[in-house]
Structure 1
Amino acid sequence: MDLISKPVAYAAAFLAVFASTNQAHANEPGESQQITPSGTQRTVGGSPDFFTGSVRVEPVWPADKNINASGGLVTFEPYARSAWHTHPAGQRLWVVSGVGLTQEWGKPIREIRAGDVVWCPPGVKHWHGASARAAMTHLAITGNVEGKNVTWMEKVTDDQYNAR
């Protein structure tokens, strides 16, 4: 499988599982599918208050009355990373492409690759980003508690990032 078709295969597998687990959740009477057209949500740069390096955030969907979790596609260029942070309801990261790094406070840095899924439990201090040699893109699915989905903390220092 070449590098182009591999992410497409992962996406197809993810959507097949997602569809099969959601068949029991029929729409309410009078509801219908909603489509958010591609390109209608603005991609933004990751705030320098919460990220180091070049980061792009593409909103995919907001939390709403149907699903109390937001989704965003986040691309980290080499060396880019988030600050330390926690999530009150946890977060799942599905690595779509590239090679990244993630670390829980007090534990070793771990490498993550396309196809990997990372579970960040509620309240666990962690960071994630690209490796030094490759960009990394992940789909972040983040739960909300009382409208809040993240608590940002201090930035990851270069020494912490390079401690491998």
Structure 2
Amino acid sequence: MLHLTQSDRANRNKNTNSDGGELMEVIKNGSIPEEDATNAPLFYGGAVSRQPIVAGGKSSYYNFSQVNFAAGAKNKFHTHTSDQILFVTKGVGIVANESEEIEISEGDTALIPSGEKHWHGATDRSSFSHISLTHPESQTEMFD
């Protein structure tokens, strides 16, 4: 097993390992600043922030970001062109489709199939954070 110091890593090619593949990247908890998303058209009901953990072309297969909702904040009904996986990291929230609303809390996972009209957000009594996982080419369509 090869152990590299920060200096060793900085001196290596940042994009490839010794086999020509991409190097692993470790993203430390709290190292990604929160971006205010409260005024984005998708959200309503309170403060919302996002932390794009793996985005912007870092992965060919995944977009991975944390979304933080203040109590009462939600998103509007929407669909994605890929499956979406939500992993709850804090608080109590709701994930809903057109026929049901399900309360979810820390440690729960929701799998939302591509094309399913849904919404998710915090309950009125708790803030709520989740990790969202989608495909990088996934498109979101919002409904009022």
**Is TM > 0.5 for Structure 1 vs Structure 2?**
yes
Q: Is 2:109 the counterpart of 1:117? A: yes
Q: Is 2:20 the counterpart of 1:32? A: no
Instruction: Tell me what 1:8 maps to.
Output: none
- 1:141 pairs with 117, 133, 136, which one? 133
Instruction: Tell me what 2:4 maps to.
Output: none
Instruction: Tell me what 2:13 maps to.
Output: none
Going by fraction, where is strand more abundant, 1 or 2? 2
Supply the AA of the counterpart residue of 1:137.
S
Q: Is 2:34 the counterpart of 1:43? A: yes
> Post-superposition shift, 1:40?
5.9
Tell me the SS of whatever aligns to 2:68.
strand
Greater shift, 65-74 or 116-125, is seen at: 65-74
Supply the AA of the counterpart residue of 1:152.
M
Instruction: Tell me what 1:131 maps to.
Output: 123
User: Sequence identity, in percent?
Assistant: 29
CA separation in 2, counterparts of 1:55 and 1:81? 8
Q: How many residues align?
A: 125
Instruction: Tell me what 1:86 maps to.
Output: 79
RMSD (Å), alpha carbons: 2.2
- 1:54 pairs with 16, 38, 47, which one? 47
Instruction: Tell me what 1:97 maps to.
Output: 90
Tell me the SS of whatever aligns to 1:134.
coil
- 2:142 pairs with 152, 158, 162, which one? 152
Q: Which runs of 5+ in 1 are unaligned?
A: 1-26, 155-164
Going by fraction, where is helix more abundant, 1 or 2? 1
Q: Which runs of 5+ in 2 are unaligned?
A: 1-16
